[in-house]
Structure 1
Amino acid sequence: MTDLPEFWRTEVFHPLSVHFPIVLLLLASLFKLISLWSSKMTWDHGGRVLLFLGVIGVWISIYTGDLADGIVSRKLCDPTVLKEHENLAYTTAWIFSIALLIEIIISKIDLFKTRVISVLLVILMLSGSVIMAYVGHLGAELVYQQAAGVNIPSSDCAEFN
């Protein structure tokens, strides 16, 4: 039986799925921040759509990260970095999920649509963005310092001939 191509390695699904929600959630935070000062509803609605798509994406990233965890955790020199990466990723996912829930409540019930709640929502999303940046830093540390999920070729690179 032949080995599957590199693309189909389970631990590769995580880096493939993680970058879209990072961008979507950062843009959602930026759009919601701009909407505080802009009278155009485009920023507010755009931020809502980006937040919705980003939350779906972040939970897909959590799932693919859990798949990769079982493969890469056995090969790490310092698995505590992976655990912190995982815990803070869950924190990030929950922060943005709560922000989405607040956003849905604000959009459905006009009584809750106040400037204070909008500002608190932006603060929550910016806090999630800061934590998400640190999660990304930990992920990069796992890949570039501990070779998590990296296929290291033999010293003579014979497998590429």
Structure 2
Amino acid sequence: MNEIPEFWRTEVFHPLSVHFPIVLLLMASLFKLIGLWSSKITWTHGGRVLLVLGVIGIWISVYTGDLADGIVSRELCDPTVLKDHENFAYIASWIFTGALLIELLKDYIHSLKKKITNILIVLALLAGSGVLAYVGHLGASLVYQQAAGVYIPAEDCSEFND
């Protein structure tokens, strides 16, 4: 019985780390979108905080996905789905990172151009959200259609009997 506990399996870290950045980045997109029309600074500053946290989280998710890749890819019927999941995750990560960099640098732009910059940031966030939704779809396809990283018990479930 030298098997490591279920929680410490490397491929488990990815699903544990991926859900927070998804929510944070989608909420950042929503906050920044509302901030375009609202005069309350809460929306724009809240969106900035959510974006910073989401970008940190998405790169952690990319890292944990890379850890899981070597373990999960050996068991897949169609590894191209995993490759697409990885490639689009990188695209989403870079889109959100670029939006964050523009967000952080916009304080140095003249006020007339700030409105245009805010619109560009929101467009990038919306594009990133679309790519992120596709990444999630591919991830769900890996788990629910190919059982990526899923433990499949014996047919009689004998390992659960005492």
CA offsets per residue over residues 81-130 of structure 1, 9 Å max, x none? 000000000000000000000000013x1426521111111001000000
CA RMSD of aligned residues (A): 1.0
Q: Give the equivalent residue in structure 2 for 1:71.
A: 71
Corresponding residue number in structure 1 for 2:122: 122
Deviation at 1:2, TM superposition (A): 2.3
Superposed, 1:1-161 pairs within 5 Å as: 2-107=2-107, 109-111=108-110, 114-161=114-161
- Aligned residue pairs, count: 160
Identity of aligned residues (%): 72
Unaligned runs of 5+ in 2: none
Moved over 3 A (4+): none
What's the secondary structure of 2:110's corresponding residue? helix
Q: Report the secondary structure of 1:114's partner residue.
A: helix
TM-superposed CA distance for 1:156, in Å, is 1.0
For structure 1, list consecutive stretches of 5 or more residues without a partner in the other structure.
none
Q: What is the alpha-carbon distance in structure 1 between the residues aligned to residue 83 and residue 31 of structure 2?
A: 31
Q: CA deviation at 1:79?
A: 0.2
Residues in 1 aligned to 2:101 and 2:109: alpha-carbon distance in whole angstroms? 15
